[in-house]
Amino acid sequence: MTHGHFDHVGGAVKLRPLLPNAKFVMTQTGWNEAAESAKESEATPRPWSMIPQNVVTKDGDAISLGDNTFRVLETPGHTLGTVSYTFDVKDGSNTYRAITIGGLGLNAIKDSNQVNSYIASVDRISALVKLTNKPVTVHLTTHPFSNGLTEARDRLATRKPGEINPLVDPDGLLKQLASLRASAEQRLEAEREAGR
Ligand SMILES: [Zn+2]
């Protein structure tokens, strides 16, 4: 799990009985923000409940599952507990490094410190895309509308032999990160002007 908002962890309570052997993983700050957010929702028309804290992860952890490894990258910004994961994906005989970025919106920003963390996280992810050894080239986003993931999946279905997998798109990812960074710079200005 990536952070404590209901649209990312609100389903855990339903998944847990269906997947009795599953472990649910998030940063400590993520678990805290989920518990707090669920509690706050009790007084709203759309209450949701959070599962009890399970596995706590932190930056640099490597979670092995079968022959794959999920590397944990704390990327505070969208929320302070936001975490991203990199892992390998396969297309036929080709292996690519993918990322799921934990959160991209500037909708939960509280002050300029948080925006600075956001910008640092975007820069850290951009550096992974620019690596010469095993660069991240696939973005399996938590919000498909944010980078045309659904459309890319549709193009995949009609791909001709020899064509690159449309989900492998480092340039698109860098473009997305640059645009997020530009929005964050603007937001930083606004937060500073507001004295936050
Ligand atoms: Zn969120």
* Cα distance between residue 183 and residue 196, in whole Å: 17
* Helix intervals (H) in 70-143: 112-129
Element (H, E) at 31: helix 28-41
If you measure from the C-alpha of residue 5 to the centroid of ligand 1, how many angstroms do you get, rounded to a whole number?
5
Alpha-carbon distance 68 to 64, whole Å?
A: 6
Query: What does the block give as tokens for 82?
Result: 């936001």
Strand bridging mode 136-139 / 94-100 = parallel
Where does a domain end: 10, 31, 57? Answer: 57
The rounded distance, in Å, linking the Cα atoms of 168 and 85 is: 17
Whole-structure pTM value: 0.93
**What's residue 63's pLDDT?**
97
Say whether both 106 and 164 belong to one domain: yes
> Of 35-49, 70-84, 114-128, 144-158, which gets the smallest average pLDDT?
144-158
Per-residue CA distances from 190 to 108, 109, 185, 194 (Å): 14, 11, 9, 6
Q: Indicate whether 147 pLDDT > 90.
A: no
Q: Please, are residues 77 and 63 in contact by the beta-carbon 8 Å criterion?
A: no
Say what the pLDDT of residue 91 is.
93
Q: How far is the CA of 193 from the centre of ligand 1 (A)?
A: 25
Question: Which structural domain, as residue segments, surrounds residue 139?
Answer: 58-193
User: How far away, in angstroms, is 107 Cα from ligand 1 center?
Assistant: 8
Number of domains in the chain: 2
**How does residue 162 score in pLDDT terms, banded at 50, 70 and 90?**
confident
- Note whether 110 and 42 are same-domain residues: no
Decide which of 40, 57, 74 is a domain's last residue. Answer: 57
- At CA 151, angle to CA 147 and CA 155, rounded to 5? 130
User: What's the CA-to-centroid distance between 102 and ligand 1, angstroms?
Assistant: 8
Separation of 97 CA from ligand 1 center, angstroms? 24
pLDDT for res 125: 97
pLDDT at 170 over 90: yes
**Location of structure tokens 């410190």:** 113
Residues that place a CB less than 5 A from ion ligand 1: 5, 103
- Co-location of 8 and 40 in the same domain: yes
Are residue 43 and residue 86 in the same domain, yes or no?
no
The rounded Å distance from CA 105 to ligand 1 centre is 7
Identify any residues that bridge with 10 across adjacent strands, giving them in sequence order. Answer: none
Query: pLDDT by residue (tens digit) across 30-76?
Result: 999 999 999 999 999 999 999 999 999 999 999 999 999 999 999 99
The answer to whether 103 and 82 have CB atoms below 8 angstroms apart is: yes
**Tokens at 25, concatenated:** 């993983």
